[in-house]
Structure 1
Amino acid sequence: MDPLIQQLSPAAMALSVVDFWQKMDALAQLIGLDYHDLKADHLAMRINDQVVAEQVHRAWLSEGQQISNAMINGRAIIVIHLDSALQVTDHKIDCLELPYPSDKAYPQQGWEHVEFVVPSKAQTAEQLVEQIKRQFPLMAKKWGRFAELGVKVKLSSPQGAGERLVNPTVAFKHQGVCIKLHPHSLQAVIASEAK
């Protein structure tokens, strides 16, 4: 088996999630996010090669059921509901997001981000930012210093065809790790497509 495919296999990724979570936790502390009471909605992988993505996709299908295959920003985004949730500290994560490659190459392949649900009625990313600042005062204090801390903040509202639930996103990136916050779970967004 190709070493990269083996490295991205469900068994290997389940082992590497602890290391990823520690890096994510360090980023959360850096930005002042107390995520412990938030629902960890899903984990996302990044893969640079189409053939590798196809093989990894097939391997992960043995771990759960594919609940979405949406075209977002010109590429397929696969969501798999896992039969056995990934347990990391006190969080159980039951969905995997597997975006197929785009024209952007990631310096490392494997776990790339975790998304947490911050329940909100925000319709825009800017409205979500205002709520996040109110909910996490330490983050609000640090907000103006993110650039000097090396943290990139990105606001977006990615949407697949047919999605009716607006789910703006605020993403924080630092040293190859990303935390995303949004108002609705991935499963709720996918369910909105069926309405």
Structure 2
Amino acid sequence: MQKLTDIGLHPEQMLAELPAFVERIEALAQEMNISLSDYQADHIALRVNDLEVAKELHKAWLAYGEEWSNNEINGRPIIVIGFNKSLQVGRWSIEALELPYPGSKSYPQQGWEHLEFVIPAKAKDTEELKALLDEKFPLLPWEKLADKGIKVKASSPSGEKERLPNPTYAFKKAGVCIKLHPCSLKDVIESEEG
């Protein structure tokens, strides 16, 4: 197996790429007419296509934090690692990493894929979340996003033990994705233990 450094996925290499990735996130938010500066950047996620690479990354990132969760969602393990020291990027402090093991879908690029933000609310489903987003971001041009090349996906992913609904809207363009949801990953994980 290739070393993580050979394929540019060693945690130190990924951390060095983080400011550029967050700049692309901010550019996407700007294109969507939304400001996320007042919201918590809950966690960052990466994507890989190879099971062995995922296992190596899992081990490597444990040097930077502790495993909060190893949960099966949509038929594959999703690992959440809480950082020992939050990642400071721009105005945000990111407390966790989401590492999904590969499923059937192959990603055009491996590495950072999305940043999730908490828009605090008691939204139980994607309809309630959309109403909240309309209220918080009145200039978000839903009907024009497709024309801008921005794909929108609403979902309600959940692990088998989760008790806290956490509907999500994902906005994706050019290999970068912003996800908005009402609860932090930490709260969702804690709900599993309740």
TM-score (norm 1): 0.96
Comparing both structures, which one devotes a greater share of its residues to helix? 1
Paired residues of 1:120 and 1:183 also in contact (CA < 8 A)? yes
Paired residues of 1:46 and 1:111 also in contact (CA < 8 A)? yes
Please state whether the residue corresponding to 2:53 is helix, strand or coil: helix
Gaps of 5+ in 2: none
Alignment-derived partner of residue 102 in structure 1: 103
Identity of aligned residues (%): 51
Number of residue-to-residue matches in the alignment: 192
Alignment-derived partner of residue 2 in structure 2: 2
Alignment-derived partner of residue 185 in structure 2: 186
Shift of 1:2: 2.7
Please state whether the residue corresponding to 2:52 is helix, strand or coil: helix
In the alignment, structure 1 residue 160 sits paired with structure 2 residue 159: yes
Gaps of 5+ in 1: none
Alignment-derived partner of residue 19 in structure 1: 20
Q: Distance in 1 between matches of 2:171 and 2:50?
A: 25
Q: Deviations over 1:26-68 (max 9, x none)?
A: 1001111100000000000000000011011100011110010
Q: Deviations over 1:98-137 (max 9, x none)?
A: 0000111111110000000001111111110111011111
In the alignment, structure 1 residue 175 sits paired with structure 2 residue 174: yes
Amino acid at match of 1:182: H
Correspondence list, 1:69-84, <5 A: 69-84=70-85
Cα RMSD, aligned residues only: 1.0
Paired residues of 1:170 and 1:181 also in contact (CA < 8 A)? yes
Segments of 4+ moved more than 4 angstroms: none
TM-score (norm 2): 0.97
